Structure 1
C-alpha cells in the first residue's frame, strides 16, 4: 500500500504506533492524540528507529513540528538530519572541485548535491517562520543557534564574524519583541548573540535598548539586556559617567520605576562605587512634600536608608525603613520592619 506525504514515499516503512498492546493495561493517563498526529508519529518513530538521515525524514520532522512545535526529540533528530545533509553537500562540493581539476574523462558524471549554503540558509528561513508562529517556544531558539553554529563551521571556516547578524537575526528579533517586548526566549537569544559574537558594548546593542527604553522606560527586559551588554564582558567600552547620567535621566522621567533604580544600584555595586555619592540625587525625590504625593518613589527612600547604613547613621536608617513600612509601602510592612531591626542592630 502506497503511503506518501508531500512528494515523499514512505511505503517501505513499517509504522511504529504510539499505542502498543503491551502497554494498554499500564497507561495511567491516555493522551487523546488526533488520528493525523498518531499517523505522522508512527512514521516518524520508524524513521528514527532506522536513524535515517534523509530529505524525506527532514520533511517528516517538519510535519510533526507543525503539529507539536515543542517536541524537543524531533527537533534534535531534525538537527542530526540537517547536519548530515549539509555535511554531504560540503563533501559533494569538494568532489566537484576535484573533478573539475581532473584530466578529461575522469570527471564524475553525477552532479553535486544541494550545497551546504542552500541547505542551511533554507533551514534558517524555515526556523524563522516557525518562530513567528510559536512565540513562546524555546526549542526553536536553541535549534536556531545550532544551525548558526553549523553555518559558521561549514560555510565560514569557523569565522563567526562572517555571519551576517544584521541581516539574519536583528529583523526577526525586532519583530518578535515589538509583538511581545517581554518575550524571555527572544531576549535569551539576543543575549546568546552578544556572547557568541562578542558584542559587549556594541553601538547597535546600546542603540537597540535605548530605543526600547524611549518607548517604555519601564521595560525591565531592555534594562537587563543593556546591563549585560555593558558590564557582562571582560572590558567596558562605555563611558561610565555617561551611563550613570543616562540612567539618572530615565529615573527623573519616571521616579517610581524600580527597573531604572535597580540598574543604577547595579552599576554602583558592579563597579565598586560608593552609593553615598548618590545622596544628592536621591534628595530630589524625598522630603516631607514628597511623602504626600501619590507617585512618591519608594526606591529613593530605600536607597536613602542604605546610604544612612553605610554612613553608620543607624537611627536615621531605621527611621527611613519605619516610614516605608508604616506609611509609604505598607504592603511590605514586615519586610521593612526586618530591615529596620537589622539596620539598628548592626
Structure 2
C-alpha cells in the first residue's frame, strides 16, 4: 500500500517508547510505516474503506494484533461491507494460522452481526470440520463450535458429526468432550432411551480398546450427570465387573471405574448393612489390585483405600 498517496491527509504517529527505551523492538520498516498510519487513524476514530484495507495489510504481517482486528470490525460495520465475504477473508487467514485466537474471535463477532442465517451456520460448521481435519484437537475450533451451536441452537448435525470424529480417532478427548457438551446443553435433554444408547456407545469403544481412557471418562460423566436409575447403575457395575474379571490383562481404567461405582454405592444411605459391607470389601480389594498393578499411582490408590470405611 502506498501510504503517502492513500493517506496523504494523515500525519503518521510514530511509536513512542519514551525518551530512553531500554530495549526497543526492531520492527520491520514496512510494519512500522503501517502502524504509524494506523495510530493516526485510530486517534481520530476513522472508520473507512481505506482503514479497512490498512488493517488487512497489518494483519498479514501480524495476525495476532487484537486492536487491529477490533478496528477492522468497526470499519466493516461502519462501511456496511459484505460480511459473508469477510468470513472468506477470515478463513484465508485462519487456514494459515490455525490457532490464532484473534481470527477465531473475529469470526464470532462477524457471524453474530450476520444473525441467524442457516446457510452461514452450515458454512461455519463446514469450516470448523476442515480445521478439525487439519488438527482434530484444535481447542479454538472446538470452542468456537460450542459457541456457534449453542448461540444459534443449531444441534441437528452435532452428534452425527462428532460420531465421525470419534470413529476416526476414538482416543480424541476433544470429540468425546463435545459429545458430552451436546447432550448436556441441547434443549431436549437426555431421555432414558438416549442414556441407554450412550452407555452402549461407550461400551462399544471400550471393547475395542479397554485401556483407552476417553470412553471411561465419558461414561463416568454421563452416569454422574444424567442417571437416575439404580437398576441401570447396577447393570453398568456388573458389565464392568465382567470386564475386570474376564480380561487376562489387568485394565486399570476398568478397575478405577468400578472403584468409583462401589464408593458411590457405599455412600447410599438406603443400602442394607450386608450390601454395604459387601461393597466395602469389594472396594478395598479393588484398591489393593490397583496398588499392585498400577505402580506409578500406587500411593494414590493407597490413599483411596484409606478413605474406604471399615466393615
TM category, shorter: 0.7 to 0.9
Match of 2:59 among 54, 65, 72: 65
Structure 1 position 33, deviation (Å): 1.7
Does 1:330 find its partner at 2:283? Answer: no
Match of 2:6 in 1: 9
**In the alignment, what sits opposite 1:341?**
306
Query: Displacement, 1:24?
Result: 3.4
Asked if 1:317 is matched to 2:283, the reply is yes
Partner of 1:234: 187
Indicate conservation of the 8 Å contact 2:3/2:37, yes or no. Answer: no
The CA deviation at 1:254 is 1.2
1:18 lines up with 2:12 in the alignment: no
The Cα of 1:345 is off from its aligned counterpart by 5.9
Q: Deviations over 1:114-141 (max 9, x none)?
A: xx5xx21221110111111111111111
Question: For the residues of structure 2 that align with 1:230 and 1:199, how far apart are their CA atoms?
Answer: 13
**Alignment-derived partner of residue 113 in structure 1:** none
Query: What stretches of structure 1 of length at least 5 have no aligned partner?
Result: 87-115, 153-159
Q: 1:271 aligns with which of 226, 248, 251?
A: 226
Name the structure 1 match of 2:30.
36
Instruction: Using structure 1 for the length normalisation, give the TM-score.
Output: 0.79
List structure 1 segments (4+ residues) > 4 angstroms apart after TM superposition: none
The total of aligned residue pairs comes to 294
CA pair 32-331 structure 1, distance change in 2 beyond 3 A:
farther
Query: Counterpart in 1 of 2:216?
Result: 261
Does 2:63 align with 1:127?
Answer: no
Q: Could you give the per-residue CA deviations for residues 301-343 of structure 1, whole angstroms, max 9, x where no partner exists?
A: 0122122221432232122122212x22211122111111112
Cα 1:28/1:324, change in 2 over 3 Å: farther
Work out the CA distance in 1 between the residues paired with 2:117 and 2:75: 26
Any idea what the Cα deviations from partners look like across 1:186-219, whole Å, max 9, x if unmatched? 011111111011134x2x1111111111111111
**Structure 2 residue aligned with 1:220:** 173
Work out the CA distance in 2 between the residues paired with 1:24 and 1:213.
57
User: 2:120 maps to which residue?
Assistant: 164
| Separation (CA, whole Å) in 2 of partners of 1:164 and 1:53 | 26
Where does residue 286 of structure 1 map in the other structure? Answer: 244
Displacement after TM superposition at 1:42 (Å)? 0.8
Q: Does the aligned pair in 2 maintain the 1:177–1:186 contact within 8 Å?
A: yes
What is the Cα-based RMSD across aligned positions, in Å?
A: 2.1
Q: Do the aligned residues in 2 keep the contact of 1:223 with 1:263 (CA within 8 Å)?
A: yes
Distance change in 2, residues 1:179/1:162 (3 Å): closer
Moved more, 191-200 or 307-316: 307-316
Q: What corresponds to 2:258 in structure 1?
A: 304
SS of the aligned residue for 2:137 comes to coil
Shift of 1:71: 0.8
Q: Which of 104, 110, 116 is equivalent to 1:147?
A: 110
Q: Are 1:4 and 1:11, in contact at CA under 8 Å, matched by a contact in 2?
A: no
Match of 1:97 in 2: none
Tell me, yes or no, if the aligned pair for 1:317 and 1:344 is still in contact at 8 Å: no
- Measure the CA separation in 2 of the matches of 1:234 and 1:121: 29
